[in-house]
Every structure is written in C-alpha cells, then in structure tokens.
C-alpha cells in the first residue's frame, strides 16, 4: 500500500481518539497494514504536516489538540491567555542562576549590567503537554532580590507589583529554527522538527528591563496579528 493510502486509513481512525491521546506505534501499524515502517512513518509525517498529530521525542505519536492562538502584541501573561482559550496551564521551574553575560546582553545599559543578570528558565504546559520553554534575563542591579518572589507563575507581575516597573513597550524578533538537544528534550521536539523562536526586549519608558526568549514547538501555536489602517 502507498503511504497516502495508509495516511487516509490512519486519519479515519483518529476520530476514535481524544486530543493528546497516544496513538499506535509505527511498528504496530506496519504489522496491521502489512507494510514497511518507513511507509507508516511517511504517513505520520504527512498527518503531522496537516496538524492532526504530533510527536514527542522518545515517547510516541499523539492526536493534536487545538492550537494556541498567540498574539505577539498582547501584554497578557501565559496563564491569562491559556485560561481565556480554555487550556489548563502549568509551569515548571527548570533552573535559576546568576550569569555575567549572555548573547545579546549589550541591549541593557552599562549601569544596569554592572552586577550581571539573573537567568530564569521555565517550562510551560497546556493541558499537561509541554508547549513553551522560556528563558528570562533580568539585571541584578534593578532586581536584586527577585528570586525571593514567586517568579514561577509570572516574572512580569513581580516586576510590576514588587519593583514598580511598568512594561511600556517591547520589540520582538520571530523566526523558525532548529533547537538544541537540551531544549528539544524538554519540549519533546524531534531533531527533524523546527520551533518558533521569539526574542523579546521589554522596556519601561526608555530603560530596558528584561530580555526573554520563547521557544514554541511549531505545531502548537498559530500567530495572529491585528493591523489597523
């Protein structure tokens, strides 16, 4: 059987499964349909391209959930827009540490970077599925005891409410790219799949207060931008 025929057969069976439910392995379907695993793999790759399934590295294939609607111009935090869209949000702290510099640290003023930076790495989940790996960099000069606050849920809320800096503007750079082994393992991204990579520079008036990197599996989000004449 050709892989497109296998693809159609699998597609018909997906209706029996719930979102984020694991589906049969390539080996199982190769035996069931009396074809090679390579044929099943091509069928699965086609279904993934159609956003009907996704793969978690070293685990298996799963039925896709609805995509997260991502609005780059929104100032709502992760938990806020997950709740609005009907997802259950969860955040896991991966690590925190002090660093002297990082790629792009020159965006901060000389005075702000005198004491180095705090690096915060968090893994975000939607309905128990990892969907976002986030790196935040904030100058220790501006936020000396930041880690004494609850930064797991929202760094932005701590900065606004405890340090009294308003987020007045931001600059974004968005691209599709491959991911490191570390990032791929946390997000469950196969080495053959790219991710949506978003760099954000946040300012309070003219002062740069935060730099963050968001890494999203490309099959988890749709980006929406409103443009007004």
**DSSP per-residue letters across 108-164:** S-TTTTTT-EEEEEEEEEETTEEEEEEEEEEETTT-TTGGGS-TTT-HHHHHHHHS-
**Cβ neighbours of residue 19 closer than 8 Å, sequence gap 6 or more:** 63, 64, 65, 66, 127
CATH architecture observed for domain 3-63: Orthogonal Bundle (1.10)
196 backbone φψ class: left, alpha, beta (φ>0; ψ -120 to 50): beta
**Chain segment 149-182, per-residue pLDDT in tens:** 999 999 999 999 999 999 999 999 999 999 999 9
3-state secondary structure of 13: helix
For 56-106, the pLDDT digits (tens) are 878 889 998 788 888 887 777 888 888 888 889 999 999 999 999 999 899
- Global pTM reads 0.79
Q: What is the mean pLDDT of residues 187-203?
A: 90
Res 219: pLDDT: 82
Given 3-state DSSP classes, what are the helix, strand and coil percentages for the chain, each rounded to the nearest 5? 30, 35, 40
pLDDT of residue 105: 95
Residue 48 sits at the vertex; the CA angle it makes with 44 and 52, to the nearest 5 degrees, is 105
pLDDT, residue 190, reads 79
Task: For the chain, count helices (H), then strands (E).
Answer: 6, 10
- 103-155 pLDDT, tens per residue? 989 999 999 999 999 999 999 999 888 999 999 999 999 999 999 999 999 99
| C-alpha to C-alpha distance for 161 and 173, rounded to whole angstroms | 27
- With the C-alpha atoms ordered 87, 220, 180, 42, is the resulting torsion angle positive or negative? positive
On the question of pLDDT at 201 being above 90, the answer is yes
pLDDT at 1 over 70: no
Q: Where are the domains of the chain?
A: 3-63, 68-223
SS3 labels along 199-219: EEEEEECCEEEEEEEEEEECC
Residue 144 CA to residue 139 CA, distance in Å, equals 8
CATH no. for 68-223: 3.40.1410.10
Tell me how far apart the alpha carbons of residues 130 and 31 are, in angstroms, rounded to a whole number: 31
């Amino acid at each position: 059987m050709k892989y497109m025929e296998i693809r159609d057969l699998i597609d018909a069976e997906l209706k029996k499964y719930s979102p984020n439910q694991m589906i049969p392995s390539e080996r199982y379907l190769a035996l069931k349909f009396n074809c090679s695993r390579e044929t099943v793999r091509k069928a699965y790759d086609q279904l993934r391209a159609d956003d009907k399934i996704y793969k978690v590295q070293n685990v298996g294939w799963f039925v896709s959930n609805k995509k997260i609607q991502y609005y780059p111009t929104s100032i709502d935090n992760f938990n806020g827009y997950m709740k609005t869209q009907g997802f259950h949000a969860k955040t896991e702290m991966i690590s925190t540490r002090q660093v002297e510099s990082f790629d792009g640290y020159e965006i901060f003023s000389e005075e702000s970077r005198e004491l180095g930076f705090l690096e915060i790495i968090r893994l975000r989940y939607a309905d128990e599925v990892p969907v976002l790996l986030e790196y935040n960099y904030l100058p220790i000069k501006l936020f000396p005891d930041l880690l004494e606050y609850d930064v797991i849920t929202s760094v932005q809320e701590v900065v606004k409410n405890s340090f009294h800096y308003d987020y007045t503007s931001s600059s974004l750079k968005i691209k599709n790219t491959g991911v490191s082994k570390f990032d791929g393992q946390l997000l469950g991204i196969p080495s053959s799949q790219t991710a949506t990579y978003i760099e954000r520079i946040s300012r309070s008036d003219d002062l740069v207060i935060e730099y963050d990197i968001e890494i999203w599996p490309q099959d988890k989000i749709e980006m929406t931008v409103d443009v007004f004449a």
